[in-house]
Structure 1
Amino acid sequence: MSPRPDADRAASDVRRFSPAVRWTHRATALLMGVCVLTAALLYVPALAQLVGRRALVVTVHEWTGVALPVPVLVGLGSRALRADLSLLNRFGAHDGRWLRAALRRDKRPSSRPAHKFNAGQKLYAAWAAGATLVMLGTGLMMWFTHLTPLMWRTGATFVHDWLALTLGIVLAGHIGMAMADPEARRGMRTGSVSRVWAEHEHSLWRP
């Protein structure tokens, strides 16, 4: 009796993400999505008129923004998440090679060496973390108006609004790249990826 195809596939898979990492990513993505959606409802006139109930949208936006760091803070109790964050925060010479190859649009695996996370993913994670903290800080200044001078609140509003636009664009790029890589999505959905994909996209990673 020949082995089942599912069993063959499972045997060729490697573990990429733990359940804690995947749930942290999902919860963060959900909260970020609500933040972006409610921001669009607040700042795009056509959407604002379509939905109405501005006070409710503002409340949902504010509390979702405050909750945004919570999944990562809770997830820090997981050793696997801490290990992944450590890898995301560590840049090496191979990351420079990966970035140069990406700028040249050179997709050969030999030209784009990567560990568990490539340089693009590391830069995105660092930028997203920094942007989230800035958005949280400026958002709190706009929310609790009695705590800061008017000049600070004016600057916070400017930074918050333009950073929100930038964040939306970068998130769209992140989603677009994920949609173009089904195996990467499977890794975040199920925790496992094929060994062939891992060796092709992350040649320096030894799971």
Structure 2
Amino acid sequence: MTPPPDTLTPTTSGVPRFTRAERWIHRTTAFLMGVCVVTAGCLYLPELAELVGRRELVVRVHEFAGLALPVPVLAGLFSRPFRKDLGHLNRFGPHDRRWLRAALRRDRHPASRPAAKFNAGQKIYAAWVAGATLVMLGTGLLMWFTHLTPLMWRTSATFVHDWLALTLGIVLAGHIGMALADPESRHGMRTGRVSPDWALREHPLWRPDERP
């Protein structure tokens, strides 16, 4: 029986999910984000600050890692598959609302969580991290160039930056935890390919023409 055109056709060689450029963007962004998180911990946690020392160097590494954070994504805009995936992440359909309702009910049955190339949780996570990164960058610049803004602006920027950093750290920890719980997803990000069974189970609405 021929499968319907809107489903993913399994193959013996696996399913291509991410191109080399997309994997490079993810790894580089993850590295820079990790540097920001670690250096922030060294700046705000007394135990780490005493262990590392060299506060001025840590501040500079934190600042330049934060400035470089958007660079991989901006460079990735030259990649057509990456731009296409951004389009998938920016579209929210009826199946995504169904996925969210099932997630809120803690219904883990695959049939209750329809998803295309990206599920609703991944779309919300990507949008939130992108917005948070821009706010962190803006508030960080206000804190860096102190002579350009009034004291009230700098104080407000520091408050937003610090609390958003804490929230971002928690969200990233959740993201890492979910990745650790899904070896096949990690394999797809590492090699660019996933098994047909995993693709059909986790992303049944992923169409063949959405592949890189």
Q: Give how far 1:159 is off.
A: 0.2
- Supply the distance in 2 between the matched residues of 1:115 and 1:186 (Cα, whole angstroms): 18
Deviations 1:19-60 (A, max 9, x none): 111000000000000000000000001100111000000000
Q: Structure 2 matches for 1:24-173, cutoff 5 A?
A: 24-173=25-174
Number of positions where the alignment pairs a residue of Structure 1 with one of Structure 2 = 199
Check whether the contact 1:41–1:48 (CA below 8 A) recurs between aligned residues. Answer: yes
- Supply the distance in 2 between the matched residues of 1:21 and 1:31 (Cα, whole angstroms): 16
Corresponding residue number in structure 2 for 1:21: 22
Corresponding residue number in structure 1 for 2:8: none
Give the letter aligned to residue 52 of structure 1: G
| TM-score, normalising length: structure 1 | 0.94
Q: Give how far 1:198 is off.
A: 0.3
Q: Give how far 1:118 is off.
A: 0.2
Asked if residue 188 in structure 1 is aligned to residue 189 in structure 2, the reply is yes
Q: CA RMSD in A?
A: 1.1
Give the letter aligned to residue 169 of structure 2: G
Deviations 1:99-154 (A, max 9, x none): 01011111111110000000000000000000000000000000000111110000
Check whether the contact 1:109–1:203 (CA below 8 A) recurs between aligned residues. Answer: no
- Supply the distance in 2 between the matched residues of 1:171 and 1:135 (Cα, whole angstroms): 14
- Supply the distance in 2 between the matched residues of 1:14 and 1:206 (Cα, whole angstroms): 11
Corresponding residue number in structure 1 for 2:3: none
- Supply the distance in 1 between the matched residues of 2:20 and 2:78 (Cα, whole angstroms): 12
Give the letter aligned to residue 152 of structure 1: W
Check whether the contact 1:28–1:68 (CA below 8 A) recurs between aligned residues. Answer: yes
- Supply the distance in 1 between the matched residues of 2:110 and 2:13 (Cα, whole angstroms): 20
> Helix, strand or coil: the match of 1:64?
helix
| TM-score, normalising length: structure 2 | 0.92
Give the letter aligned to residue 161 of structure 1: D
Higher relative contact order (CA 8 A, sep 6+): 2
Deviations 1:58-78 (A, max 9, x none): 000000000000000001100
Identical aligned pairs, as a percentage?
Answer: 76
List, as ranges, runs of 4+ consecutive aligned residues in structure 1 with deviation greater than 3 Å. none
